[in-house]
Copies of this chain bind each other. A is one copy, B any other.
């Protein structure tokens, strides 16, 4: 059976990879089950970033999103934001101070998607809580945090 092949390695890193794609696939289904069919999980993540940011711009969104999604150019972000605006999930407001930039915000339609997204997040965190004790979770968060900062030292 194929699964054995994965287990044979058994390192945390491999499990991360599997878990990552499972979360993504699970989230995809969740969104579709809740009627969100015209945008992707990654689009939802942009909505999330907008909702958590203070006066987000094209560039700031490209930078922040890079952290959780891998490098993204401002050109790509510009295109994605235009799409999300056209679909009615976000709106832009021109800055008064700097006439080159616009600030983005969620529309009610965008907020609705965020609620669905938060539901998923809660369900996921419940799973984590169920399969990891509170103490372990604490330890885990600290470990990951330290790990995250140390990766760029690998040469």
A residues apposed to B, CB below 8 Å: 2-3, 5-6, 8-26, 30, 33, 49, 52-53, 60, 63-64, 67-71, 120-121, 123-125, 127-128, 130-132, 136-137, 139-141, 143-148, 150-152, 154-155
Contacts and interface: CB of A to CB of B under 8 A. Distances in A.
B15 A141 contact: yes
Secondary structure dominating the interface of A = helix
A2 B64 contact: yes
Contacts of A16: 16, 19-20, 23, 144
A141 B12 contact: yes
Contacts of A25: 70-71
A106 B51 CA distance: 47
